Structure 1
Amino acid sequence: MSKLRVESFTLSLDGFAAGPDQTLENPLGIGGTALHAWAFPTRTFQSKLFGKPDGETGIDEDFAARGFHNVGAWIMGRNMFGPVRGPWPDESWRGWWGDNPVYHMPVFVLTHHPRTPLVMEGGTTFHFITGGIHAALERAREAAGTKDIRIGGGASTIRQYLEARLIDELHLAISPVLLGTGEPLLTGLNLPALGYTCTQHVPSARATHIVLTRA
C-alpha cells in the first residue's frame, strides 16, 4: 500500500516551519529562507528549482533526493500554494513556481474556496479540494496508484494529518536558525501518543535530519 510521507520539511531550532508575515516578497515569511540553507545547494534542489545540472552531494543531497523517490501525487495547503487569502478574486494566481512547476504530477490543494483545476506545463495539475484532509488523501491515492503521496506543507496541513494519524513517515531537517516567531509545527502535539517514534537521526554540516515513523 502506498505511504503518506512528509519530506525535507525544515524547522528552526525553536520549532518554527516558516517566518511570520508571508507575502509575495517573502513566500517563506520573514527570515524563513534561512531555514533552507541545507537544501538549496543540493543537486536535487539545484536541478528541480533552478534547472542547473550541478549541485552538492552528501548527506543533505541524499535526504533531498529521497523525497522525490516513488512519489505519485502531492498534497499541500492553500497557504503553500500562494499568498492569496479568502475567496479567489480571480484565477490569475498560478503558484510560486512559474509555468512549469517542479511537481510534474497531480497536486491536491486544500482550500475552503472552490476553483477549477489548474493545468500547467510538465504534467502538473493543481486540484483544489474543499472536502478536507480525508477527501484530499482519497483523491491523491487514486492519482498515485501504487506510489506514495508526499505532503508538501505547510505546517497547518501537516499538523492536521499528524493529528489524524495518517502520516506514515515524516522527515524533518532541523536547521541551526532561531526565528523567534512564526508558524510552529509540533507545539501541542503528543507524538508518542499518536504512535510516532524517531527511527533515524543524521547530522550534516547544515542541518540535523530526523525521520519519524508511525508504528
Structure 2
Amino acid sequence: MGKVRVAGFSLSLDGYGAGLHQDLENPIGVRGLEIMRWFFETKVFQAMHGQSGGAAGVDNDFASRAFENVGAWILGRNMFGPIRGTWGDESWKGWWGDTPPYHTPVFVLTHYARAPLVMNGGTTFYFVTDGLQSALEQAREAANGKDVRIGGGVSTIRGYLRMGAIDEMHLVLSPVLLGEGEHLFGGLNLPQLGFGQVEAFPGENATHMVLKKS
C-alpha cells in the first residue's frame, strides 16, 4: 500500500499555510501566493502550464519529487474554489482551467453533493460528503497501490494529522511573514503524533523539510 503524504506544502516563517479572505483574486487568501513563489520559479511549474524555461536546482528537484508515485489526491473544498454553500449552476470547475495538473482521481471534501467532474488530462473530481475517512478510503482504492497526496488546505491537513493518517510531510518554509491566516500546527504536537525531521535542505527560494513518522 502506498503512503499518505503531504508534499510541496508551503508555509510562511510564522507558520501560516494560507492567508485570510480567499476570493477569485486571492486563491490562497490575501498574500497567500507569496509563500508559493519558490514553486512558480521552477521548471516543474512552467512545464505544468505548457511553458518552457524555469529554474533547475533544489527547489525544482523537490517540486518534481512531490508529484512522483501519486495515484490520487484529496483536497478540501476551499482548495477547489472560493464557492461557499451549494454549488449553484455548477459552472465552477476549479482554478486550473480545462486541464488541471493532477492527472489522477481527486477527492474533494464538501458538505454539498455534486456529480463527478471529468476533466482533460486524466483528472476526475469526486465530491465526498461523508467525511475524511470516506475520502481517504476512496482515494486509497483509486490510487491502486500508489501514494495518496493530501493537497490541502490547512484544515484538511490538520484533520488528517489528528486522525493519524499522514505518513510523511514535505513542507516548504518560505521567507515570508504573513502575520495572520490559517496556521498549520497550532494546538498540534508533532512529536506526540510520531513525527521527526529526516531531511532539511536550503533551496534557491525556500527551505525544504521532510518529516516522517518513526
Q: Same fold judged by TM-score > 0.5?
A: yes
In the alignment, structure 1 residue 20 sits paired with structure 2 residue 20: yes
Residue in structure 2 matched with residue 66 of structure 1 by the alignment: 65
Residue in structure 1 matched with residue 10 of structure 2 by the alignment: 10
Give, in whole Å, the separation in 1 of the partners of 2:17 and 2:71: 24
Secondary structure of the corresponding residue to residue 137 of structure 1? helix
Secondary structure of the corresponding residue to residue 88 of structure 1? coil
Residue in structure 1 matched with residue 109 of structure 2 by the alignment: 110
> Which consecutive residues of structure 1, in runs of 5 or more, have no partner in the other structure?
none
Give, in whole Å, the separation in 2 of the partners of 1:82 and 1:102: 15
AA of the residue aligned to 2:165: L
What percent identity do the matched residue pairs reach?
A: 60
Query: What are the equivalent positions in structure 2 for 1:74-113 lying under 5 Å apart?
Result: 74-113=73-112
Give, in whole Å, the separation in 1 of the partners of 2:207 and 2:104: 29
In the alignment, structure 1 residue 194 sits paired with structure 2 residue 193: yes
User: Post-superposition shift, 1:61?
Assistant: 0.5
Residue in structure 2 matched with residue 160 of structure 1 by the alignment: 159
Backbone CA RMSD of aligned residues: 0.8
Instruction: Give the count of matched residue pairs.
Output: 214
Q: Deviations over 1:126-179 (max 9, x none)?
A: 000011111001101111111111111000000000111110110000001001
Q: TM-score, normalised by structure 1?
A: 0.97
Give, in whole Å, the separation in 2 of the partners of 1:196 and 1:119: 36
In the alignment, structure 1 residue 36 sits paired with structure 2 residue 67: no
AA of the residue aligned to 1:95: G
2:57–2:204 Cα contact (<8 Å) kept? no
Give, in whole Å, the separation in 2 of the partners of 1:171 and 1:90: 37
Q: TM-score, normalised by structure 2?
A: 0.98
Q: Deviations over 1:6-34 (max 9, x none)?
A: 11000001111111110011111111111
User: Post-superposition shift, 1:123?
Assistant: 1.0
User: Post-superposition shift, 1:51?
Assistant: 1.1
AA of the residue aligned to 1:25: E
Secondary structure of the corresponding residue to residue 114 of structure 1? coil
Secondary structure of the corresponding residue to residue 192 of structure 2? coil
Deviating above 2 A after TM superposition, structure 1's stretches of 4 or more consecutive aligned residues are none
Give, in whole Å, the separation in 1 of the partners of 2:113 and 2:147: 26
User: Post-superposition shift, 1:205?
Assistant: 2.9
Secondary structure of the corresponding residue to residue 78 of structure 2? helix
